[in-house]
């Protein structure tokens, strides 16, 4: 198997949390689809802000405010470059992917979705890309339609094409399934939607940490993701939108920063992106996110993806030899997510047994209950790999799962 060309041991040294024991065993952290761990540079950036630069941004005339503002806006520039956005003004900071979707539902939806219109999502969506559209459809009298999937966990594109019509106003689909690892054909999804006259939101929560995402190449209308899945802090997300749409959309919240002028007779709203960033933002975490983006850039997306793909192939082949191992989701194009069942056992029980020997995985429906119903299961055990994981850790998982399966059998 081809070498990935970087030193995973050196990378692991940058992540303090990995060097500990859990229940008397070395930690094996395989829950990266839920949240990734943070390199020391991110942690130090948080500490540096609060010990050196702590101040509110944009409004102050003093040195601390000027420094904090510069650092904050530099991160916006870096995110714009990371996504290859046309301009930094099209980058809006949110609390996370969930808030980004809700922002679009509440603003774009409020203005452009009407009675009789249709919104399309897929059968593998996270709850955060289902519920906001259900709420909007109930309010507006619109209809929510769902792209079905195959038994392997891939979208049935022929059925998607049948769903598209002149009534379709928005298609909102995840780029990568958090529960299955399936990489969806976003270029085709977007071009087909545009031909029907619909706009497209890409839920990139699970894709930005694995491979290059170029919003101009995709030609998506909106894209959302979370920092904490990309080696950055929690409580921070990004919404990208096409300029003409963002400028037409009404504000999401009212308050400070999103205004130009306030009078009791009326208010004039600020320009983008500030129109959508009411109140004091998550300053420290935005500044620290810059270091996460630098970490990914230093490793290199191609190197990162090659390493993760190597781990996924190794884990799929090795765990597949365990009697009673049942993989869930066999898409041809996947990222480093392996969902599975151990025959006859509840996923939570398997997860607890793995935790007892220091292995962290995710169990349950992964906020994708309709997807689990599609497969007629309650949930899965999910092992998800990141740049700092190793084949040795997969070997530890293999040994533990083998024992669990033998005990059940």
**Cα distance between residue 340 and residue 328, in whole Å:** 5
**Cα distance between residue 319 and residue 269, in whole Å:** 56
Q: Which residue is listed with tokens 């190794």?
A: 314
Which one from 46, 163, 196, 367 is the annotated catalytic residue? 367
Q: Confirm if 307 and 6 have CB atoms less than 8 A apart.
A: yes
Q: Confirm if 4 and 303 have CB atoms less than 8 A apart.
A: yes
Phi, psi of 168 (to 5 degrees): -70, 120
Residues β-bridged to residue 59? none
Q: In Å, what is the CA distance from 298 to each residue of 11, 175, 291? A: 10, 24, 10
**Cα distance between residue 339 and residue 163, in whole Å:** 29
**Cα distance between residue 215 and residue 208, in whole Å:** 11
Establish whether 220 is a catalytic residue. Answer: no
**Cα distance between residue 166 and residue 67, in whole Å:** 50
Q: Sign of torsion, CA 75 80 83 84?
A: negative
Residues β-bridged to residue 339? 382
Q: Confirm if 338 and 322 have CB atoms less than 8 A apart.
A: no
Q: In Å, what is the CA distance from 154 to each residue of 124, 314, 402? A: 9, 22, 29
Query: Which residues does the annotation mark as catalytic?
Result: 367
């Amino acid at each position: 198997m081809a070498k990935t060309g970087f030193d995973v041991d050196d990378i692991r040294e940058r992540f303090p949390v990995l060097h500990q024991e859990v229940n008397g065993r070395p930690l094996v952290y395989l829950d990266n689809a839920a949240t990734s761990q943070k390199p020391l540079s991110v942690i130090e950036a948080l500490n540096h802000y609060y010990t050196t630069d702590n101040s509110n941004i944009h409004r102050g005339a003093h040195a601390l405010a000027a420094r904090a503002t510069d650092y904050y806006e530099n991160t916006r520039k870096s995110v714009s470059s990371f996504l290859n956005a046309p301009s930094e003004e099209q980058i809006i900071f949110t609390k996370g992917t969930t808030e980004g979707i809700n922002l679009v539902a509440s603003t774009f939806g409020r203005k452009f979705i009407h009675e009789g219109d249709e919104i399309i999502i897929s059968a593998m969506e996270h709850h955060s890309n289902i519920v906001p559209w259900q709420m909007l459809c109930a309010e507006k009298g619109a209809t929510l339609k769902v792209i079905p999937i195959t038994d392997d966990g891939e979208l049935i594109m022929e059925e998607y094409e049948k769903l598209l019509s002149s009534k379709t106003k928005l298609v909102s689909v995840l780029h990568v399934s958090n529960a299955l690892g399936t990489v969806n054909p976003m270029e085709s999804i977007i071009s087909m939607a545009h031909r029907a006259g619909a706009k497209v939101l890409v839920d990139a929560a699970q894709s930005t940490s694995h491979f290059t995402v170029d919003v101009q190449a995709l030609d998506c209308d909106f894209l959302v993701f979370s920092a904490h899945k990309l080696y950055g802090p929690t409580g921070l997300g990004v919404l990208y939108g096409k300029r003409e749409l963002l400028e037409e959309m009404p504000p999401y919240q009212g308050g400070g920063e999103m205004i130009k002028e306030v009078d009791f007779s009326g208010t004039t709203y600020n320009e983008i992106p500030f129109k959508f960033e009411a109140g004091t933002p998550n300053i420290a975490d935005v500044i620290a996110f810059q270091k996460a983006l630098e970490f990914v850039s230093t490793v290199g997306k191609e190197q990162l993806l090659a390493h993760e793909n190597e781990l996924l192939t190794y884990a799929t082949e090795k765990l597949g030899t365990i009697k009673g191992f049942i993989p869930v989701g066999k898409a041809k194009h996947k990222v480093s997510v392996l969902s599975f069942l151990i025959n006859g056992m509840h996923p939570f029980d398997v997860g607890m047994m793995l935790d007892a020997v220091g292995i962290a995985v995710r169990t349950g429906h992964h906020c994708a209950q309709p997807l689990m119903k599609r497969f007629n299961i309650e949930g899965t055990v999910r092992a998800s790999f990141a740049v700092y994981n190793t084949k040795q850790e997969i070997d530890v998982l293999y040994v533990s799962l083998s024992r669990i399966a033998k005990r059940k059998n």
